[in-house]
Structure 1
Amino acid sequence: MRRSSHVVLALLAVALPTATSTAAPQSFKGEYTVSFLGLSVAKATFSSSYEGDTYSIDGSVSSAGLATLFDDTRGTISSKGKISGKQLQPQAFRADYKSGKKASMIEIQFANGAVTSTKVVPEPKKRNPKNWIALAASDLSSVLDPMAATVIHADSLDKVCGRTVKLYDGEMRANLVLTYDSKGSTSVRGYKGDTVTCRMGFEPVAGYRKNRKALNYLKNRSVIMVTFAPLGQTGVYAPIHAMVTTQIGTLTVSAGRFEATE
């Protein structure tokens, strides 16, 4: 899970069930498999808890299958914040991961929906201003971290799509544009019922190198589909399946478990 794999990080974060404000504490768990060209390459597990108007989410991600022969990556992810109306307001996000012997960390602090600080270890290399789209202060307001960016508050399945989500992953600011594709149904451990699938457009805004082929492909040619399911009666919809086409093949994230634990 390298920092350059922005969409992979976002897709790994789709396992993030959340909830609207509630007096009684609630807990949820999601277990996901990440596959590339039909082969399992990673596992992800996320546990979340909600009490009043606060939320906290903890997750772990690790390489699986043949991927461990080439890039043995393991990491933990955490996010916490408040719920204001139907909007999440992150307060802190942290990702610690290790690929082989190389350890990396991303830490983001928020206040009132805006980024106040970002720490990345190891520090990014010096950027060439001629081909680098730098972040502006305005790019870092009303944004969500990768764990919260793909969770949707809506009144019904019909209203999940048709929105733009502002994502910040510690380096790049991107817009995730959701448009309606279809309805369906699914059955996994903890959930059996209706789903809605949105097509997701990926639009880099700042914090990236111009004319980068991989990003141009994701923006102009990639097909990204995300299927959402309701999380109990909370009014929240979390991804239960996601797929993205890349220059070298198709990546999918599929839930094997999607349920309330309390």
Structure 2
Amino acid sequence: MTKTSIGGHGARAALPTLRSFALLAGLALLPSAPAAAQGKLDARYEVTLAGLPVGKGSWVVDISDDQYSASASGGTSGLLKAFASGSGTGGSQGRIVGGALVPQVYSATVLSKKSETIRMSLNAGNIKEFSIDPEPPVDPDRIPVTDAHRRGVSDPMTGSLLRVPGTADPLGPEACRTGGAIFDGRMRYELKLDYKRMERVKAEKGYSGPVVVCAVYFTPVAGYIPDRAAIKWLASQRNIEAWFAPIAGTRILVPFRMMIPTPFGMGVLEATQFVTQATPPRVAKTQ
């Protein structure tokens, strides 16, 4: 899932929608409570727009007893690649404190006609340092991000891991009764979830079973240009869905599928591979 530069009038019109889809595909939610965490995920995704393939990506998550890492990569494919090629990578690392994921570093790089790298360091939910290379030009129409906007947030990668409190089955309505704040190095926004229904899915490889379907509502806060069509479109949508599946051995859910209506048809991000396994906790050494 990457930003791309597309030539041609029709392709330029599609660009805001594709960027919007990329934004929500990196679903970001703050933790609602500590979560048990001992598992791994190796997933592969395909992105389609109006049924046509436009991208592919991978996502690897490794959660141990005291630390975690998550990394993703992707690129354009199919019809979209005929207009322009693009690829990107991203990752986050942090500690597990009291069962909660506490991000420490985040980075993302997009490669197309131009390259861009975002880096951030965090401490207890606050952004300590961040940079965009090359530094983007100042746009007077962009709502500025203040220091207050960079406190009490998560990075996009860590935020993609939805933590479900309690001891009951994490796949249920309670999983969707949450929301949170995200800062991606450029924009600060809020996401809110509401429960919709339960479904069943089957990946070509890996997971087969129930998922909980949440409605997703996007609200921009700062770091964006209010007149941009993509922002207006996302903020007005009431039919965005995220289908969450579990990482074995944990109370952590991740998106198996996302559905985002666009002016050009339904955008869908769906796992073709979703291999997840519980990992045993480390046993303390004894003399």
Global fold match (TM > 0.5): yes
Pick closer, same or farther for the CA change 1:256–1:46 going to 2, 3 Å: same
Q: After superposition, give the CA deviation of every residue in 1:70-106 in whole Å (9 maximum; x if it has no partner).
A: 120112211101223353221111112211x322111
Query: Once the 2 structures are TM-superposed, how far is the Cα of residue 214 of structure 1 from its aligned partner?
Result: 2.1
Q: Summarize the alignment of residues 180-219 of structure 1 with structure 2, pairs less than 5 Å apart.
A: 180-188=195-203, 189-219=205-235
Query: Once the 2 structures are TM-superposed, how far is the Cα of residue 212 of structure 1 from its aligned partner?
Result: 2.4
More strand by proportion, 1 or 2? 1
Q: Summarize the alignment of residues 114-125 of structure 1 with structure 2, pairs less than 5 Å apart.
A: 114-125=126-137
Structure 1 Cα separation of the partners of residues 184 and 206 of structure 2 = 30
Query: Once the 2 structures are TM-superposed, how far is the Cα of residue 140 of structure 1 from its aligned partner?
Result: 1.1
Q: After superposition, give the CA deviation of every residue in 1:103-140 in whole Å (9 maximum; x if it has no partner).
A: 21111111121111111122122121xx3321121211
Provide runs of 4+ in structure 1 moved above 6 Å. none
Letter in 2 for 1:257: Q
Q: Summarize the alignment of residues 62-101 of structure 1 with structure 2, pairs less than 5 Å apart.
A: 62-99=75-112, 101=113
Pick closer, same or farther for the CA change 1:144–1:228 going to 2, 3 Å: same
**Counterpart pick for 1:170 among 185, 200, 216:** 185
Query: Once the 2 structures are TM-superposed, how far is the Cα of residue 7 of structure 1 from its aligned partner?
Result: 4.5
Q: Which runs of 5+ in 1 are unaligned?
A: none
Contact 2:155–2:182, Cα closer than 8 Å, also in 1: yes
TM-score (norm 2): 0.81
Pick closer, same or farther for the CA change 1:221–1:13 going to 2, 3 Å: closer
Structure number with larger C-alpha Rg:
2
Pick closer, same or farther for the CA change 1:86–1:245 going to 2, 3 Å: farther
Matched, 1:111 2:123: yes
Letter in 2 for 1:157: L
Matched, 1:2 2:3: yes
Matched, 1:234 2:250: yes
Contact 1:218–1:246, Cα closer than 8 Å, also in 2: no
Contact 2:39–2:250, Cα closer than 8 Å, also in 1: no
Query: Once the 2 structures are TM-superposed, how far is the Cα of residue 142 of structure 1 from its aligned partner?
Result: 2.1
Matched, 1:135 2:145: yes
**Counterpart pick for 1:248 among 250, 253, 264:** 264
- Aligned residue number for residue 11 of structure 2: none
Pick closer, same or farther for the CA change 1:112–1:54 going to 2, 3 Å: same
TM-score (norm 1): 0.88
Count of matched residue positions in the alignment of Structure 1 and Structure 2: 253
Q: Which runs of 5+ in 2 are unaligned?
A: 5-15, 29-33, 280-287
Query: Once the 2 structures are TM-superposed, how far is the Cα of residue 160 of structure 1 from its aligned partner?
Result: 0.8
Letter in 1 for 2:64: E
Query: Once the 2 structures are TM-superposed, how far is the Cα of residue 65 of structure 1 from its aligned partner?
Result: 1.1
Query: Once the 2 structures are TM-superposed, how far is the Cα of residue 66 of structure 1 from its aligned partner?
Result: 1.7
Letter in 2 for 1:136: T
DSSP 3-state at the match of 2:158: coil
Pick closer, same or farther for the CA change 1:97–1:212 going to 2, 3 Å: closer
- Aligned residue number for residue 148 of structure 1: 158
- Aligned residue number for residue 12 of structure 2: none
